[in-house]
Every structure is written in C-alpha cells, then in structure tokens.
Structure 1
C-alpha cells in the first residue's frame, strides 16, 4: 500500500507584516497570551521574524537555539510577525489589511472558551472592534483589530453549532 503523499503535513504558521514589533508583540502577548517562540534577524535583508504561539499548560520551547528553531517550525497555530526595519520610524507607513479594496487576505481567528469574558477583556484593553458579537447578521462572532489594522475573528466554538444553517 502506498503512503499518502501529504501524510505528516502540518499547517505551521501564518505571516503578517507589522510596522512596529514592540507594539505588536505587546498586543499579542498581553491581549491573547501568546509567547514569543523564536526571533530570527536577517541583517543583510534588514528584517526580523517573530514567531508567537499560545502554548498548552506546562509546554515550553527547548532552550537550545537550534532545537528551538526546529521545534518552532514543527508546531501548529503559529503566528509569524515580519518586521521590515525602519517602518516603525515612518508615521505615515501602513500595511494593507486585506479587507479594504482590493480585498485579499481577510483575518486570523482565535477560539475562546467564553465569548462574553473575552469581549469584556477586549473592552478593558480598549481594542478597536470591526464587529461586536451582537452586531450584524452573524451573531456570536466578534472581529477586533490588531495594531496594524489586521482583523482578528473571535469565536466561542460551543456557540457555533448552528452556523451556516
């Protein structure tokens, strides 16, 4: 019997370009509880990559740098933030969020155990909403913006059983 050619494939990460790594790292670490798994600097090309994830209880990345890099690229649900050096110094600089015309990229999504508690936390942290859960035709789904204007969908899986019916 032949092996399926995509056995072992793992969806590892999504990449977003960011203007200011200090602002974006603080946002994803504080608001969503993600941790920085690995930072890679590419001096000759003037950019840095920041890999973040929400790890399980007691889960820690390896201490050895090479092992940590290999481990990072074997994980699921990683967010890669790419910073092109100098963008943070340009007050007018802005990335296209994918939702303005022409549309392209749409959003990333976080599943939460309690949507109401998550919304209260987002309100406490003064996040900008694209859509609150009670707004629009699709209830129980929220969209907030990150510091670069990218949309982040927030869902409580237990509330979505009838979605699309």
Structure 2
C-alpha cells in the first residue's frame, strides 16, 4: 500500500487563512454532464428526493441546464424573477447539463464518470438519516449499487454511471477511526 507524502502539519500549513474579501463566497453548484435528462431528472427527484430549483434552456449553445437540490416546495418562489434571485443565493446545488442530441445519438457512449482510468472525478455525497433504510429503499426501487455498505457508506450509480455516496453523519468519525485516519 502506498504511503502519503503529506503529514497533518504540512496539510494545515498549505491552507491559508481566507482573505476577508472572500467572506461571502459559497460553493454554489457542481456540474455533471448528462446523456438523457428524462432519466437523470427522474432519478434525482424520485430516487434521491431532490427538487428542480432552476432550469435554463439555451438553444444558441445547444444545451439545457437543470439545477437540482434539496429544498422544500414551499420555499421555491413561483415568480420567475424571484426564483432566479433565490436560486442564485443557494449553496450545494447540482447542475445537470444536457447537450442536445446525446439522448438520441446511438453512437454516443456517454461521459466519463471518473471511476475508470484516467481517474479524476470521484463522487458526490448525500447524507441520509439511516443508511440501512436508504439501502433497502434503493434495492426496492432497483437502483444499481457500485458498493453496498459493509460498515460505512453505500455507493449507488445514477443513470450516467456517476457514483453517489450515501452516508450518515453520525457514523463518520467511527468509520474514519476504524480505518486508522488521523483526524485534525
């Protein structure tokens, strides 16, 4: 097994104190390219419980973008202008970008999911109250698993093959400790 060339002290020294000018920065969204919005939108809403937060169709660029995340229906403004303002202030969204024609092009094999060489993107994560209950639900719904949980998280696959970690916040420290992680 390879050993890390970094130690905890070095990691801490590499992280600068944030500049005061960045105090209002947030992580707004992560973008995933998708082949078929019909499958993706169904999966993320019906299987994971996300809602459509905002969408934009841009024929001049031959694409549509769909922003999804966890929100209460009553919190999503109905008025388009208010909805855009509300959405622009959110954090933790996922943008699904659909390039027109990928769903009907028989020769299009899909996008790289980061799980085969060359590796890169790993996964997104969704925290659930109880992993076992979530796993049972996913099994009933026929969701494909990349890894079933042994003593930690489960990993499921979305319609494009992207991995989604299903984790529970309560057991993170226990799991990391069992793997011999040095917590800082």
Unaligned runs of 5+ in 1: none
> Greater relative contact order (Cα 8 A, min sep 6): structure 1 or 2?
1
Q: Which is worse superposed, 63-72 or 41-50?
A: 63-72
1:36-91, Cα deviation, whole Å (9 max, x unpaired): 111101111100000111114x6421122122112112111111100000000023
What is the aligned partner in structure 1 of residue 168 from structure 2? 156
Q: Distance in 2 between matches of 1:21 and 1:47?
A: 11
Equivalent position SS for 1:160: helix
1:36 paired residue among 15, 27, 52: 52
Equivalent position SS for 1:88: coil
- Considering only CA atoms, is the larger Rg found in Structure 1 or Structure 2? 2
What is the aligned partner in structure 1 of residue 152 from structure 2? 140
Equivalent position SS for 1:51: strand
Q: 1:122 deviation in Å?
A: 0.6
Determine if the alignment matches structure 1 residue 4 to structure 2 residue 20.
Answer: yes
TM-score (norm 1): 0.91
The correspondence of residues 120-135 of structure 1 with structure 2, limited to 5 A, is: 120-134=136-150
Q: How many residues align?
A: 158
The correspondence of residues 61-72 of structure 1 with structure 2, limited to 5 A, is: 61-72=76-87
Over the residues paired in the alignment, what is the CA RMSD in angstroms? Answer: 1.4
- For the Cα contact (< 8 Å) 2:152–2:175, is it kept in 1? no
**Structure 1 consecutive aligned stretches of length 4 or more whose deviation exceeds 6 Å:** none
What is the aligned partner in structure 1 of residue 12 from structure 2? none
What is the aligned partner in structure 2 of residue 106 from structure 1? 122
Equivalent position SS for 1:68: helix
Q: Which is worse superposed, 5-14 or 80-89?
A: 5-14
Unaligned runs of 5+ in 2: 1-18, 178-184
Q: 1:126 deviation in Å?
A: 0.9
